Chain A
Amino acid sequence: DAGITQSPRYKITETGRQVTLMCHQTWSHSYMFWYRQDLGHGLRLIYYSAAADITDKGEVPDGYVVSRSKTENFPLTLESATRSQTSVYFCASSVSLERTQYFGPGTRLLVL
């Protein structure tokens, strides 16, 4: 199906483990984004990408790594998960920074 998907939808992991969250979009949008949503903080931008092989930091990038080898995929990796990274993670895509963002369904991550 066309659109933007995230996997897994739910993940439980332990402190110190590496976790990768996947994001895939079928629109060939240039821009892709990763946000985390926490109570009391709303949505905060982690990283974004303007095109394949181009990424940039958002508001809260520490502890996360991204890559974008293909336009349609934008994985987010927690290299050594911490409890403070327990959150709901949303991926989004758009044609440009000045255009509508379309969100994936979210991934709920629990770090024990």
Chain B
Amino acid sequence: GIQVEQSPPDLILQEGANSTLRCNFSDSVNNLQWFHQNPWGQLINLFYIPSGTKQNGRLSATTVATERYSLLYISSSQTTDSGVYFCAVEKSGDRDDKIIFGKGTRLHILP
């Protein structure tokens, strides 16, 4: 089945720093989403981005579907950005690979 790899697994930054999180996937997909899980366990969708670039405030994401990767950019990090960031892909037509999550990048923003 499709493999999803996220890097780095852990990232520690000072408040105000910028960061780039990467999601690689092993096959073509028609759906990719980025999620943030805060330290209290709540999961929130950030972007639905099967291709192209989107921005929402300090966060932006780019997916290059032909090269099978997506990037999540966080600018001017705040402590509230801490948590785990997951990407999830979906490959329609393959009954064994409905929605597959990466293992996440754990981000710590230090005050």
Residues of A within 8 A of B (CB): 33, 35, 40-45, 48, 56, 58-59, 88, 90, 92, 97-103, 105-106
Contacts and interface: CB of A to CB of B under 8 A. Distances in A.
Contact of A45 (B41, B92, B98): B98
B45 A101 contact: yes
A43 B88 contact: yes
Contacts of A105: 41-42
29 contacts: A33-B99, A40-B103, A42-B86, A42-B102, A42-B103, A42-B104, A43-B86, A45-B98, A45-B99, A48-B98, A56-B95, A58-B98, A59-B98, A59-B100, A88-B41, A97-B90, A97-B99, A98-B30, A98-B48, A98-B50, A98-B90, A100-B45, A101-B33, A103-B35, A103-B42, A103-B45, A105-B42, A106-B41, A106-B43
Interface residues of B, number: 24
Contact of A103 (B30, B44, B90): B44
